[in-house]
Amino acid sequence: MIRLGSNSPTRALLLNKFNIDFIQNGGNFDEDSIKTLNPKSFCFEATKGKFEELFNKYGVEQMPLLVADSVVTCNGKLLRKAKDLNDAREMLQLQSENKTSVITCMIYKKKDLELIDISSTTYSFNKFDKEDMNRYINSGECMGKAGAIMVEGFCKPYIKDVRGYESTAMGLCVEKLIPYL
């Protein structure tokens, strides 16, 4: 059994898919306190901040702690969670017919081990259909997702090429975690 230090339903879904027993306890780390615009640095700093908050609260004596964060980058821009539907639309228009990378950092710690991993999955997308994109945006599913993308949902039919694990793009590279459990 591990403690998932995240409120993400997608990360919980991934752990369930891989039959990993967990309890879920997210935190309140303020990502807006991070000043860097470098996607990889931002992702690491956010994960580290969340980890430190939850490690101080729960420790790892009773149960290992797993914390993760993801960001999206396209054309060198850091794409975080959309502030509103217009922000989501701008992000998705940037990614349409473009290469987009999802960077996920995870920190897993138990008494005798600490794993820090930063992984990236890169997608080449075909052009997003405007009506399909509008339906997705208006559904609100794009909110709360880095870069407003959902590779397991809206974006799936537009994937031309992928390099990396889908789990990384969904917020947790479970394939890299499993050997350490």
Q: Looking at residue 35, which CATH number applies to its domain? A: 3.90.950.10
* Low-confidence residues of the chain: pLDDT under 70: none
- pTM recorded for the entire structure: 0.90
Residue 33 DSSP label: G
β-pairing, 99-110 with 77-79? unpaired
What whole-number distance in Å separates Cα of residue 123 and Cα of residue 60?
35
Question: Has 21 been annotated as catalytic?
Answer: no
Could you give the number of structural domains in the chain? 1
pLDDT in tens, 155-171: 999 999 999 999 999 99
Residue 82: give the domain boundaries. Answer: 2-180
Give the DSSP letter string of 111-147: TTEEEEEEEEEEEEE-PPPHHHHHHHHHHTTTTTSBT
Give the pairing of strands 2-4 and 65-74: parallel
Catalytic residue among 21, 30, 32, 69: 69
What pLDDT shows up at residue 152?
86
